[in-house]
Amino acid sequence: MEQILIRQINDVMKFVSEYEDEFVRQVMERGTTEHLKQTSSLKKTIDTAKRRIEQIDSVISQLYEDKVAGEITAEMFTKLSAKYIAEQEEQSAALKVSQRELAALETKKTDTTKFIDLVRKYSQITELTPQILNEFIDKVTVHQAVKVDGKRQQDIEVYFNGVGLISSDAEKKPETTE
């Protein structure tokens, strides 16, 4: 795993060093699209949760009025209100999680300049120290191993701090047109 990370970091560093403008364009293009999708999805989830919490408030109020008016029994009121209160607590918890995720997404905008400065700081990495690991790598996703043509294959995705997942396609030399 260590050798894979060293190779990935060096490959990305080489690409950034040789094709900085192309790297910035690719990261910004990808980051903007992903950011907009995630932001839109989270905002939709937040709006839905807020609306449902308001609906439940109305339902509980109506239940109370029905109880006071004698239209439902105290036992029925207790049973129904407990059900709605539990749902409201679930919705409130989900709302808080989504709001935190949205706030984190807003503050974690792609920071390509910081990443490029980091690449300039190192020329070639031969050893993976905790400092280098923490500076370059956000997370590593190791997928389930599968057999293809009798050989075991396992996909590993390396997410870099500030720029996210850099696919091997992004590291290829840009084509020049004349």
Print pLDDT tens along the chain (178 aa). 788 888 888 888 888 888 888 887 787 777 677 777 888 899 999 999 999 999 999 999 999 999 999 999 999 999 999 999 999 999 999 999 999 988 877 766 557 778 888 888 887 888 888 998 888 888 888 888 888 888 888 888 888 887 878 765 544 444 433 3
Contact of 124 with 117, CB cutoff 8 Å: no
Residue type, 170: A
Spell out a b/e string for 35-49, using b for 16 or more CB atoms within 10 Å of the CB, else e. Answer: beeeeeebeebbeeb
Q: Please state the φ and ψ torsions of residue 92, each to the nearest 5 degrees.
A: -65, -40
pLDDT at 178: 39
Q: Give me the long-range contacts of 122-127 (CB less than 8 A, separation at least 24).
A: 122/13, 124/10, 124/13, 125/6, 125/9, 125/10, 125/13, 126/6, 127/6
- pLDDT, residue 148, reads 86
pTM comes to 0.52
